[in-house]
Chain A
Amino acid sequence: MRTVVIVDDHAMFRGGVRAELAGRVEVVAEAEDVDTAIDAVLRHEPEVVLLDVHLPGGGGVEVMRRVGGRAPGTRFLALSVSDAAEDVIGTIRGGARGYVTKTITGPELVDAIERVSIGDAVFSPRLAGFVLDAFAGSIEVAQIDEDLDRLTEREREVMRLIARGYAYKEVASELFISVKTVETHVSSVLRKLQLSSRHELTRWANDRRLL
């Protein structure tokens, strides 16, 4: 069973998630703000941290920033009631491996935890939409310093299908590729989203005051 720390400032919500996950993952600790979250993560080094985006003390991004490299085995999955672009992109760029909203069903959440814990990325249709928006347009080939700054045609196709509501399995069969390949594409998009300094992306983020 995967070890999980639940970080959320609403005790009622923590209790709900804990009950929903009971028996399917091992919840080793809960935390209610940035400081207690960092404590819990460093002490237990869980495989996955379910991280609320809005958190007293600077938000979930602050937790990831301050934990830094001190819990190398731990991956963060953002869980939020907000699906504002600012929060979603900001959290991913802060280091989360995925972003799901709190209306997610129990089995879907368990699935997302599993996926994140083995190093894959969890993209919701909305996140895929944001990515397509942020990487919209084509730039002159001569202007591309790094591959980081654009999506490949294949990655764009994968993102479009996810935005259309396809599960990874369905994306795979639609594009005649394996699920593993879909996961590789999604992880690569996640990396670009986190690391790209592409002008459009930084401006897009700047317009929304993320950086």
Chain B
Amino acid sequence: MAGPRVLCDDGMTMSAPSADRWVERPARRAFRSVDDSYVGGVAGGLAAHLGVDAFYVRVFFAVTAFFGFGLIFYAGLWIMLPLDAAPPAESPGLEAATRQGKRPARKRRLKDAGVLVALGAVAVGVAGVVDVLFGGPALFWPALIAVGGVMVLWRQADEAQRERWIDGTGRLDVRRFIVGDGGVAAYARLASGVGLLVVALLIFAAQSGRVGVARDVVLAGALGVVGLLLVLGPWLARLVSDLGEERAARVRSQERADVAAHLHDSVLQTLALIQKNAADPAQVAKLARAQERDLRSWMYGEATTPAGSLAAALKATAAEVEDTHGVPVEVVTVGDLTVGENAVPLLHATREAIVNAAKHSDAAKIDVYAEVHPGDAEVFVRDRGRGFDPDEVAADRLGVRNSIVARMERHGGSAEVRSSPGQGTEVRLRLPINAEQQTGGPV
């Protein structure tokens, strides 16, 4: 290593997120499961929500169904819980690739026989309840058939909703609302559902005709109304929720259109700059890299990286150094934490280490790796550049010692610099953190 080097770069200030910023964790919601589903996906979804095996939930429903409670509970959840296939806000690039069929479509498991058996079992249960509640075998078969019809129709409501989601064109009209994308299965479900209901009413009328026509007509009418409400209930409930989601999607797409316009504009600017700087490869590479980072984070970035998290802060720092020094900085994080007051020294030290590597190592690329454990966070900054002999760094050269090692030690952490000439440098930073700041990763 020739000549003294200044290892410090303290001229810049860093905008650290203020301590009172915290990441709001969304409330955990229960969904009906699309994949783990025999009847309506209620048991599967509930199992995922509660963290127990779906088998036990199913047994619970099956057993309680015979007391009626389980059935009412199940039907209630079926109506109230949204399907879990509601499109999660993926990044625009991934969404576009999915729409154009460039990524694998979500798998659907076909368990038709299983579905039929399960539907049948629940229908028998409902009929049994009706039998017990109202007495008389006269009601058993009509009730059984009617319940079967209603369930088939509810399933169709689910299918139609799912097809609307997958379609993604956002059209919503009455036909699509009811039959989804159509197809034999949809119409068959509709026809058999309605048919079962009609048959149930007919049998009921025929059987009870012996007792008294007047009462039958009243009962039949009442049953018809109840049946209609039962049938339309889920559709109405979902119409409301779909409209809400459509509104949200519209807002989202407007925001994206704005960002897209901004990005396209910046791409144009960059292309212009590249043409002007065609003679300067370093400058061209730097421009291209900055633009690529912009586009990549917009297209494929984790939509979920919350502002104020360690990962976001590290990426911002890396981007800034890339722009200033023209060296690519790759950031990989495992686990994450909310950056509070006490994590700020870690960010400053990391930044210092990255800047040092960018300015002095001549490395083609800098790797930053952060791992959050319960109790502490570690950051590694690695370059494969020139390296130096740590023992030979003069005591008066305060860069590494003050801004990295001393800073970390002042805040209860530690820093270690490993380097040797020709082998590159790795700075390892460790800082204790409060467990409640941790937002993911190893538990």
Q: Which A residues form the contact surface with B (CB < 8 A)?
A: 9, 53-59, 61-62, 81-87, 90, 94, 103, 125-126, 128-129, 132-133, 136-137, 160, 163-166, 206, 209, 211
Which residue of B365, B382, B441 has the most chain A CB atoms within 10 A of its CB atom? Answer: B382
Given contacts A54-B103, A59-B104, A87-B94, contact A125 B332 (CB under 8 A): yes
Add 13 more A-B contacts to A54-B97, A164-B380, A165-B382 (CB < 8 A).
Answer: A59-B97, A59-B104, A81-B296, A82-B94, A82-B300, A83-B300, A84-B94, A84-B302, A87-B103, A126-B330, A128-B332, A129-B333, A165-B369
| Interface presence of B175 (CB below 8 A) | no
Given contacts A56-B101, A129-B334, A136-B442, contact A164 B94 (CB under 8 A): no
B101 touching A58, Cβ below 8 Å: yes
A136 touching B443, Cβ below 8 Å: yes
Given contacts A83-B300, A209-B88, contact A58 B105 (CB under 8 A): yes
Given contacts A82-B94, A137-B443, A164-B369, contact A61 B334 (CB under 8 A): no
A160 touching B371, Cβ below 8 Å: yes
| Interface presence of B275 (CB below 8 A) | no
B382 touching A59, Cβ below 8 Å: no
Nearest B residue to A207, CB-CB: B88
Residues of chain A with a CB closer than 8 A to B100's CB: 56
**In the complex, how many residues of chain B place their beta carbon closer than 8 angstroms to a beta carbon of chain A?**
39
The 10 closest A-B pairs by CB, nearest first: A165-B367, A129-B332, A54-B102, A59-B103, A165-B382, A82-B300, A54-B97, A136-B442, A164-B369, A84-B300
B102 touching A125, Cβ below 8 Å: no
Minimum CB–CB distance for A10 against chain B, Å: 11
Residues of chain A with a CB closer than 8 A to B299's CB: 81-82
Bound-state Cα–Cα, A85 to B106, Å: 16
| Interface presence of B306 (CB below 8 A) | no
Minimum CB–CB distance for A169 against chain B, Å: 11
| Interface presence of B426 (CB below 8 A) | yes
Bound-state Cα–Cα, A168 to B106, Å: 35
Minimum CB–CB distance for A127 against chain B, Å: 9
| Interface presence of B335 (CB below 8 A) | yes
Given contacts A82-B93, A125-B330, A160-B371, contact A56 B335 (CB under 8 A): no
Given contacts A82-B93, A137-B443, contact A9 B102 (CB under 8 A): yes
| Interface presence of B107 (CB below 8 A) | yes
B300 touching A164, Cβ below 8 Å: no
Minimum CB–CB distance for B258 against chain A, Å: 22
| Interface presence of B91 (CB below 8 A) | yes
| Interface presence of B389 (CB below 8 A) | no
| Interface presence of B292 (CB below 8 A) | yes
Residues of chain A with a CB closer than 8 A to B103's CB: 53-54, 58-59, 61, 87
A211 touching B296, Cβ below 8 Å: no
Residues of chain B with a CB closer than 8 A to A209's CB: 88, 106
A164 touching B101, Cβ below 8 Å: no
A133 touching B369, Cβ below 8 Å: no
Residues of chain B with a CB closer than 8 A to A82's CB: 93-94, 97, 299-300
Which residue of A53, A54, A164 has the most chain B CB atoms within 10 A of its CB atom? Answer: A164
Residues of chain A with a CB closer than 8 A to B371's CB: 132, 160, 163
B91 touching A84, Cβ below 8 Å: yes
Minimum CB–CB distance for B38 against chain A, Å: 18
Bound-state Cα–Cα, A141 to B100, Å: 44
Residues of chain B with a CB closer than 8 A to A206's CB: 35
B300 touching A59, Cβ below 8 Å: no
Interface string of B277-313 (1 = CB under 8 A from A): 0000000000000001000100111100000000000
Residues of chain B with a CB closer than 8 A to A132's CB: 334, 371, 442
Residues of chain B with a CB closer than 8 A to A9's CB: 102
